[in-house]
């Protein structure tokens, strides 16, 4: 099978060359937006979340049979179009349930103990604790929105900190709730009672901007919001306004709407038909980057040695099993 593989590191390239020996691999550094690429003869596209694959990309590959994403999320792929064209889509169901959950708490602790300001102060030569008062996690209420594998790990970590946990999900795991010691409640109740809200949902037509001005108005004043899932879950303009008026006390964000343009604005500004909403979101993102109560990281919650290895192993399995006629981890 001829594979177009977008890669991040030389080590990844070497490993996949070895593990997919027998297949013809065309390596493309970065994402599909980076540089030119040919779809001639390509039967498999293997990408990460930074590569958007819509009808145009599929049509560029007339021999395409399989799209493999090295992620659990797949909102960067037009799955309905793929199905209509008879193209299978494979993903990595589980790889970083603990990894991403740990990172959510890294963001929260950075905010709760003012780690960024503390580090910058000592770098400047001052060791005064003045103005660096934080707050305990113990005794606070953590609201977890989405209790899949990552959300469940967040709940377990929160319980370890001595937090009271409440959660919202359309699908309840009552046995897990009973053994772990948390309650499922309606979304509005979770928003109203939580000191910290952590998001663990896909971005789709049901969840897009689930955190908006209306929902923020239901929250406790001074609430902290953590998002390691998808940028589209939060209405950026509503978050900015809530930070300005103090409704939201702080935010830890590993994902942003239009995050791909934050460090490469020219791709957006220089496009033939600039998207007004995307431009507006880009400017709001820059406000968030400079806000003292906001911590933003570059979509790196997944990025540990162990999690990446799990991703690559399952990716190889997805490609090999498909080519041998026994496909695994296909989206139904």
Domain positions in the chain are 2-91+305-323, 97-255
Mean of pLDDT values over 169-185: 98
Answer whether residue 177 shows pLDDT above 60.
Answer: yes
Domains 2-91+305-323 and 97-255 alike in fold? yes
- What is the average pLDDT value for the chain, to the nearest integer? 92
pLDDT grade for 96, boundaries at 50, 70 and 90: confident
- Following DSSP, what letter does each residue of 22-64 receive, concatenated? TSEEEEEES-TTSS----TT--EEEE-TTS-B-HHHHHT-TT-
CATH number for the domain formed by residue range(s) 97-255: 3.40.50.720
pTM: predicted TM-score of the whole model, two decimal places: 0.87
Higher pLDDT, 176 or 75: 176
Largest CA distance in the chain: 65
**Which residues are identified as catalytic?**
230, 259, 299
Residues in Cβ contact with 278 at an 8 Å cutoff, skipping those fewer than 6 apart: 258, 261, 268
Answer whether residue 226 shows pLDDT above 60.
Answer: yes
pLDDT grade for 332, boundaries at 50, 70 and 90: low
The class level of CATH for 2-91+305-323 reads: alpha beta
Mean of pLDDT values over 227-255: 96
Please tell me the predicted confidence (pLDDT) of residue 131.
Answer: 94
Please tell me the predicted confidence (pLDDT) of residue 23.
Answer: 97
Mean of pLDDT values over 206-234: 97
Answer whether residue 306 shows pLDDT above 50.
Answer: yes
Q: Which of 94, 202, 214 is nearest to 153 (CA)?
A: 94
pLDDT grade for 269, boundaries at 50, 70 and 90: very low
């Amino acid at each position: 099978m001829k594979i177009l593989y977008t890669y991040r590191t030389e080590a990844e390239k070497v490993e996949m060359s070895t593990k997919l020996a027998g297949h013809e691999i065309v390596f493309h550094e970065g994402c599909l937006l980076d540089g030119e690429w040919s779809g001639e003869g390509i039967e498999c596209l293997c990408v990460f979340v930074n590569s958007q694959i819509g009808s145009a990309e599929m049509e560029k590959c007339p021999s395409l049979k399989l799209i493999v994403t090295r992620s659990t999320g797949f909102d960067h792929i037009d799955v309905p179009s793929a199905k209509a064209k008879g193209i299978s889509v494979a993903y990595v169901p589980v790889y970083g349930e603990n990894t991403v959950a740990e990172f959510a708490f890294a963001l929260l602790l950075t905010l709760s103990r003012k780690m960024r300001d503390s580090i910058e102060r000592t770098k400047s030569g001052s060791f005064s604790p003045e103005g660096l008062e934080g707050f305990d996690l113990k005794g606070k209420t953590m609201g977890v929105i989405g209790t899949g594998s990552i959300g469940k790990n967040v709940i377990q970590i929160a319980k370890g900190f001595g937090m009271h946990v409440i959660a919202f999900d359309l699908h309840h795991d009552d046995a897990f709730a009973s053994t772990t010691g948390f309650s499922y409640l309606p979304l509005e109740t979770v928003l109203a009672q939580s000191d910290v809200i952590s998001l663990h949902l896909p971005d789709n037509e049901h969840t897009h901007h689930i955190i908006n001005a209306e929902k923020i108005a239901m929250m406790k004043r001074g609430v902290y919001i953590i998002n390691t899932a998808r940028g589209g879950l939060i209405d950026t303009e509503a978050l900015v306004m809530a930070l300005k008026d103090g409704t939201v006390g702080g935010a830890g964000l590993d994902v942003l709407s239009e995050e791909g343009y934050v460090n490469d604005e020219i791709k957006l500004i220089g496009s033939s038909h600039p998207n007004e909403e995307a431009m507006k979101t880009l400017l709001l993102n820059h406000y968030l980057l400079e806000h003292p109560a906001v911590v933003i990281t570059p979509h790196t919650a997944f990025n540990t040695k162990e999690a990446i290895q799990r991703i690559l192993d399952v990716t190889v399995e997805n490609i090999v099993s498909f080519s041998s006629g026994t496909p695994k981890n296909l989206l139904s």
